[in-house]
Amino acid sequence: MAATTPVQKRWSTDQLITGIETQDWLKLLGANGYRVDATYLHRLAWVGAFSLGATALGRLEDARFGRALANIELDPEPLFVIGHWRSGTTHLHNLLGRLPGHTYPTVFQVVFPSCFLTTANVVPKVAAGLMTGTRTYDNVKHGWNEAAEDEIALAKLTGLSPYVAFMFPQHAARYERYVDFVECKREEKDRWKEAFRYFLKKIMLQTDGSRVVVKSCTHTARIRLILEMFPNAKFVHIHRHPYEVFASTLHMRSHTDWENFFHLPEQDVELMRKQQTLALGQRVFERVVEDRRLIPEENFFEVRYSELVGNEMDFVERIFDHLKLPGFERARTPLRRYVKSLAGYRRNRLTLDARSRDEVYDWWRPAFDAFGYDRAHEDLP
């Protein structure tokens, strides 16, 4: 790591890999040469200790619920919220996932994907003090029962995730292919699909068959893979001006990168972050621009973040109508109540220099062209 970059968030306990089972943790460490810098040995102990409990409880859970999970049909199929990071996907996830008949993966479920059925009534209460009231990088509410990305669970269940690169940045290139799985072997795809079905079935079992509203920004590049699993899946794609997305993603990663490192980058952290964000975004945008055409029109709804904010009631009704989702009248009152609860929320105010704007335009040109965004855009709310 560049000597001028001081270590930040050294004692954070927000490692996204916490809750992985022991055998999977050892396999992941081995794939990365068992390299953990002395700076982060306490993280190794933290994750390792939790992995022992997750493993024991996971085996108990498999024995207890295995037959029930085998008999569950993923019907209704999930509703997928897709979009690049910091495009408003969490806001949309909350709007759709909180409605009657719907559910979403919770923070607790993605932290402990192998044993949340067994521990859901105990651990969140005991460990309530471990959670901050809002996320570290914005003002969005945070807690064990709040909505979360299933990618965090899938990273633990499979190791096949670009999120692993946040922990082992020197080996980031080997995990890039898991953004879209285009370059992956069939056995990797099959293993990922099996884990995804397992996780979704557990959520449906816990919520008496509710439709799972799934939101992971990585899925934006996995439309082909998802359609192999769920040919009739419904998608809501949200997009935002690329300059705003880039600035906000860098801000988010300025927190989350430091929270997840197990070894320190050998290059300047800010430069690494910028290069990775540009490359990853390019791959995501190219895939979604091309692959959204594969989704039947009646199963696909697209919205701009700037149009959704302030018009949530109208857009959710339009989403229900277009995708032919049942029960909007029943959902109207809880939706209105939730929207009112957001009053006073303030977004981060960020800036982006001229050189970065040029780089974003060059790397993310497909998003500008496909979604109709102006290169001269100045306002970054």
Where exactly are the structural domains of the chain? 22-371
Q: Which residues pair with 141 in a beta bridge?
A: 134
Which of the residue ranges 101-110, 180-189, 280-289, 346-355 would you say has the lowest mean pLDDT? Answer: 346-355
pLDDT in tens, 317-342: 999 999 999 999 999 999 999 999 98
Residue 307, CA distances (Å) to 9, 91, 240, 312, 379 in order: 36, 13, 10, 9, 15
pLDDT at 131 over 80: no
Sign of the dihedral through C-alpha 284, 13, 108, 155: positive
* Confidence tier at 2 by pLDDT (50, 70, 90): very low
- pLDDT score of 343: 82
Say how far apart CA 302 and CA 197 lie, in whole Å: 25
- Range 22-371: architecture per CATH: 3-Layer(aba) Sandwich (3.40)
State both tokens at 375.
């290169």
Q: What is the pTM of this model?
A: 0.93
* Confidence tier at 135 by pLDDT (50, 70, 90): low
Query: If you average pLDDT over residues 166-190, what whole number do you get?
Result: 93
State both tokens at 167.
């922990």
- pLDDT score of 4: 54
State both tokens at 137.
């990088």
* Confidence tier at 29 by pLDDT (50, 70, 90): very high
Query: If you average pLDDT over residues 358-374, what whole number do you get?
Result: 97
Which has more confidence, 377 or 317? 317
Residue 44 burial class via C-beta count within 10 angstroms: exposed 0-12, middle 13-18, buried 19 and up: middle
pLDDT in tens, 233-267: 999 999 999 999 999 999 999 999 999 999 988 77
